[in-house]
């Protein structure tokens, strides 16, 4: 068979599964979905854990032991606050472009790191528990005995790690993600973008002619 009789399909390399540009698009879509899922789940876990009991103990009195508990918000307000910041940064990623998107993605990443560090440090912190015991007893420096820690600090730390993953995905793949529609944006001079020219009136319909005259237009042009 001569070379002239070969069909175009004969020149396609074997194993070519489709156009190459489709692969980065699919990768960007996967990273976007994963970042949204990880970011929302991470912020939710951090907020949930902040309101749960992190430590339990008892202050010793002459009448007996006085049990006390502290929540994550009592121990440290960092995870809850940074969870809100991270959630806002996750949404803001789609409202900005270029350098702004990189800055917001970095803020999302740092929020995750801050939550994880604060949760790990708060897991062994008993100062909030001692403060609650002293308030209940009315004596400063009251000791707390039989202190136990729950697993909620580690849940908050896991939420921080999920936010960290979302931030890293935004830093690496964020430039390929879509942004909010530009139809609401203004031009650099502050004016709105060009509007569509109104359709020419139908001169055979008198009501169209009157509408044009009301708008100050010349229907004969």
- pLDDT per residue over 111-138, tens digit each? 999 999 999 999 988 888 878 777 766 6
Task: Dump pLDDT digits (tens) for 61-109.
Answer: 656 667 778 899 999 999 999 999 999 999 998 888 888 899 999 999 9
User: How large a percentage of the chain has pLDDT more than 90?
Assistant: 38
Q: Report the DSSP beta bridge partners of residue 57.
A: 68
Contact indicator for 89, 170 with CB cutoff of 8 Å? no
Predicted confidence (pLDDT) per residue in 25-46, tens digit: 777 788 889 999 999 999 999 9
Higher-pLDDT residue of 55 and 201 is 55
98 vs 19, residue with greater confidence: 98
| 13-27, 147-161, 166-180: range with highest mean pLDDT | 147-161
From the centroid of its chain, how far is CA 136?
A: 40
Angle between helices 78-92 and 22-50 (to 10 degrees): 150
Categorise residue 80: left if φ over 0, alpha if ψ from -120 to 50, beta otherwise. Answer: alpha
pLDDT at position 184, please?
42
CB count in 10 Å sphere of residue 52: 15
């Amino acid at each position: 068979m001569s070379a002239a009789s070969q069909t175009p399909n004969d020149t396609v390399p074997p194993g070519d599964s489709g156009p190459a540009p489709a692969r980065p698009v699919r990768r960007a879509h996967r990273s976007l979905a994963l970042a949204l899922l990880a970011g929302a789940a991470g912020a939710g876990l951090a907020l949930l854990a902040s309101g749960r009991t992190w430590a339990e103990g008892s202050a010793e009195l002459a009448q007996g032991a006085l049990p006390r508990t502290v929540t994550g918000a009592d121990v440290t307000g960092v995870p809850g606050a940074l969870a809100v910041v991270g959630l806002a940064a996750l949404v803001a990623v789609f409202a900005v472009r270029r350098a702004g998107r990189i800055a917001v993605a970095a803020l999302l990443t740092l929020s995750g790191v801050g939550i994880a560090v604060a949760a790990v440090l708060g897991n062994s912190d008993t100062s909030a528990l001692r403060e609650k015991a002293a308030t209940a007893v009315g004596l400063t420096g009251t000791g707390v005995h039989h202190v136990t820690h729950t697993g909620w600090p580690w849940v908050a730390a896991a939420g921080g790690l999920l936010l960290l993953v979302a931030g890293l995905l935004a830093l690496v793949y964020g430039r390929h993600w879509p942004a909010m529609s530009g139809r609401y944006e203004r031009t650099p001079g502050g004016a709105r973008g060009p509007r569509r020219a109104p359709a020419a009136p139908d001169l055979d319909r008198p009501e169209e002619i009157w509408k044009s005259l009301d708008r100050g237009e010349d229907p004969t042009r």
